[in-house]
Amino acid sequence: MPEVEKTEDLKQARTRERTKTTKLTSKLRAIYQDPNANPDAVAYLIQQAEKQLTVLEELKEALETCGIPDETNHLADLDELTFMSKRLLGRLESKPIHETPTVSDKFRLDLNLPKYNGDLLAWTEFWELYCSAVHHNRSYSPVEKFVYLRGQLTGEAAKSIQGLATTAANYQIAIDLLKDRFGRDDFKRETLMANLLHLPGVINSSDLKSMRRLVDEFTICIRSLEAMNTPSSQYGQLLLPVMKEKIPEEWRLQWARTRFLGADASGTEFECFIKYLQDELRIREDASHEKLEEAREYSQVEINLRSRFDGGSRRIKAYSTDKLCAELPANDRTPDRSQLPENMADDFQGGPVDILIGVDHLYDIVLWEQMEIDDRLRAVETVFGYVLHGRHDSNSGEPALRCSYHSHSVVRMWDLDTVGIVPEAEEKRSDTKFPLPEWNEKENRYEMGLAWIITIMEIDLALDEAVDWFAEHGPRGRSEGRQHPDPDPDPDQLPKLHLLLGDSIAKASRLTPRDPGDRILNRARGGETWRSLSRYMEEDVRVWQDTMEAEERAPGYIIIWCSGNDVYHRQGPLVITSHLLDRVAALATSVVGRLEPHAEKVYVFGPLPRLLGADRGAKWERTAAFHLERRLINTRLGDSCEMIRLGRSLTKKMTKNTRAVADAGYHRTDGVHLSPAGYERIGACGAFPGWLRM
């Protein structure tokens, strides 16, 4: 290790120990001034102070060797208070027997002393603390010590002295039994070596958090063995090959390169390996800015949040911190206020963020009602008024705000189907420009180049643009020998154009008619519900009819696939009530009734279960999707409407007559959207219409 780096590590260690010393000094000063100080508490603090004095003196000597003097009084103050506390402990222990502390004073340290369950590696720590607080305390009789000892033992440790009567004579016997069983260094060494051999390996070289855990546990075991007078020279050569197999291949290669070049070859090969792991991990953490922060303590507060409209409030518990996230700028490009509800919770003036409400309180605050402002923006009802959720068109060019603590872009939260936000892929589609067809005189045909970057979702749009262009500029007249279609073809002979409405699951379904001449116009939107479907229905039908006229097609069927946003929220199913189901059924009946005059038949695909909340692992008959499906089946949606039950196909057979919502590979990791296997499963179920394929 270079001299400068070694000095910096010593200075950082001294800073940490000074912080501990300050806290310990405050405790010693307070207990010294307490006229009713407990001797056990004084003895415990003296033991901590003596250990801290040793650490400070070692750091002082090491830094003075590097030419850095100690200019503070931490060491002197702690030494003085330790001496005064020892004098206080002597006075307290010299009191007459009749001044023995009361029962409440004797057992005041119950919360400070750890319970011991028989862990070999934890015995030394427990025994030293117990000796300082109880075993060496002359204020307690042997029987009292025995009672206290039993109260601190659990598990195997308690069973080891279970048959002894609680008497003064048996107290020392109990101590000897515990020492003989749990105080054996040979067993501790074997346990530490077994822990080293069974440490989990790390495969991914960029997984710095797992590497940090591995190196820390590795170092703790090595230091514990050294404390038991077992140096690494006794086992290092045997353990080194095992430890090398637990680190990623890239790290092993770097270690081999380091040894080949002979860099920092001081010490044994095992000691060099430990040092290499520590140095390499520190370098990678610094380079990737992923170094773990030291543990911090946050004070918990209780906050009463009150609405500025109707007095509604919520009381929550939160943790206090110095800085939550970056300050929000004022938003001067909000939507037209005439489109927004009157009771908006935000005044759009910007300012600091005072409270961050997590998912544990989110659903106490977010209510049911949602109002769509445009394709990408909704007003969501909360107990404090309406809040805007989504993205406004005028702000689409501005960078997203980033939280200074978590460093997660807010844009990533706009992918949630269940809040009705259009996915980013949808946004890109609106701005995509495709090449237009060009006439090739030499070969007497149209040609159309391919875009450099094109996604599967954009192919439909490219096809639509090409069809529209040919409909307007078509090849009529380009070739004398070309046959033109009949200007008034028979509607029965025309290919059909079907209409698909629904949410993001319908949008990504790639439904295709089996008739090669027919096609489906996919007008599904992310986050669609029966309520929002009714608002955009007239526009969807108009686009459908215009496309039929442009492509010279006949009207086909209408498919509605709302997979369950009406009965699921972002983390699981809503509370299913008759009122909720009646409202959804009424909306569905209204939508189907308005669509029936435009199509020969309307298909309603049933809702699908989700691997969220209470529905995960539940029986199919107890899911929110089942209740909604049953209500829609029992409701007369329309004369030409057919209800297609699909939800049960995504369940897993558990027993002969029981199916449950389990992870069978049909859902993506979010538990909402379907995987390719899920779509394939639906397409193969018996209820799926025969004229369609998935």
The answer on 170 and 88 residing in a single domain is yes
Is it the case that residue 1 has pLDDT exceeding 80?
no
Specify burial of residue 5 (Cβ count, 10 A radius: 0-12, 13-18, 19+).
exposed
Q: What is the CA radius of gyration of the chain?
A: 37
- What domain count does the chain have? 4
* Domain assignment of residue 450, yes or no: no
Give pLDDT tens digits for 60-111.
Answer: 888 888 878 877 788 888 888 888 888 888 888 776 544 444 444 444 444 4
> Which of 415, 436, 458 is the last residue in one of the domains?
415
Q: Are residues 230 and 179 in the same domain?
A: no
Identify the pLDDT of residue 468: 60
Residue-wise pLDDT for 615-673, tens only, equals 778 888 888 888 888 888 888 888 889 999 888 888 877 776 667 777 778 888 888 88
In the predicted structure, residue 567 carries a pLDDT above the cut 90: no
CA-to-CA distance for 344 and 384, rounded, in angstroms? 8
- Under the banding of pLDDT at 50, 70 and 90, the label for residue 521 is very high
- 110 and 198 share one domain: no
Q: Measured between alpha carbons, how far is residue 621 from residues 548, 583, 647, 661 in Å? A: 41, 21, 11, 10
Alpha helix positions (H), 66-207: 74-93, 103-106, 123-130, 142-152, 155-160, 168-182, 185-197
Last residue of a domain, one of 364, 387, 415: 415
Q: Tell me, yes or no, whether 255 and 321 share the same domain.
A: no
Answer whether residue 294 is part of any domain. Answer: no
pLDDT in tens, 108-124: 444 467 788 888 777 87
pLDDT at residue 486 is higher than 60: no
Q: Which two tokens stand for residue 653?
A: 């057979």
The stretches of 419-563 forming alpha helices (DSSP H) are 424-431, 456-473, 504-507, 530-551
Using the predicted structure, report yes or no on whether residue 216 has a pLDDT greater than 70.
yes
Quote the pLDDT of residue 224: 78
Which carries the bigger pLDDT value, residue 408 or residue 580? 580
Helix (H) or strand (E) holding 317: strand 313-319
pLDDT tier, 535 (very low <50, low <70, confident <90, very high otherwise): confident
Per-residue pLDDT band for 399 (boundaries 50, 70, 90) equals very low
Domain membership flag for residue 325: yes
Q: What is the mean pLDDT of residues 492-510?
A: 87
The pLDDT of residue 139 is above 50: yes
Q: Do the beta carbons of residue 607 and residue 563 sit within 8 Å?
A: yes
Average pLDDT on 423-442 reads 54
Segments forming the whole domain that contains residue 228: 188-288
When pLDDT is cut at 50, 70 and 90, the band that residue 408 belongs to is very low
Banded pLDDT at 602 (limits 50, 70, 90):
very high
Q: Does residue 194 sit in the same domain as residue 176?
A: no
| Residues 253 and 333 grouped into a single domain | no
**Which residue is associated with the tokens 């200074």?**
404
195 and 120 within one domain: no
Lowest mean pLDDT among 29-38, 175-184, 339-348: 339-348
Task: Tell whether 82 and 97 lie within a shared domain.
Answer: yes
Structure token digits, residue 342: 């009157």
Averaged pLDDT, 245-262: 79
Report yes or no on 280 lying in a domain: yes
Q: What is the mean pLDDT of residues 570-574?
A: 67
Of 187, 220, 246, the position where a domain reaches its end is 187
Which two structure tokens, joined as six digits, stand for 469?
């262009």
Q: What is the pTM assigned to this prediction? A: 0.36
Answer whether residue 485 is part of any domain: no
Higher confidence at residue 449 or residue 216?
Answer: 216
State the pLDDT at residue 513. Answer: 92
Q: How confident is the model at residue 448 (pLDDT cuts 50, 70, 90)?
A: low
Identify the weakest region by mean pLDDT among 55-69, 174-188, 457-471, 626-640. 457-471
Give ∠ CA 293-294-295 in degrees, rounded to 5.
115
| 457 in a structural domain | no
pLDDT at 9: 80
Query: What is the reported pLDDT for 500?
Result: 93
**What average pLDDT does the structure give for the chain?**
75
Report whether pLDDT(283) > 60.
yes
Distance from C-alpha of 38 to C-alpha of 139, rounded to nearest angstrom? 11
Is residue 141 located within the same domain as residue 236?
no
Q: Are residues 76 and 218 in the same domain?
A: no
Instruction: Return the pLDDT at 174.
Output: 87
Cα torsion 28, 29, 32, 35 to 10°: value is: -120
In-domain check, residue 462: no
Q: 544 in a domain, yes or no?
A: yes
> Is a pLDDT exceeding 80 seen at residue 451?
no
Domain match, 599 and 678 both: yes
Lowest model confidence (mean pLDDT) among 132-141, 213-222, 471-480:
471-480
Rounded to whole angstroms, the maximal C-alpha distance in the chain is 126
Q: Which amino acid is at 151?
A: G
In this prediction, residues 222-233 reach a mean pLDDT of: 75
Q: Are 379 and 371 in contact (CB under 8 A)?
A: yes
What does residue 384 show for φ and ψ, rounded to 5 degrees?
-105, 5
- What's the pLDDT score for residue 116? 84
What pLDDT is stored for residue 213 in this prediction? 84
| Number of Cβ atoms within 10 Å of the Cβ of 27 | 16
**149 and 30 in a common domain:** yes
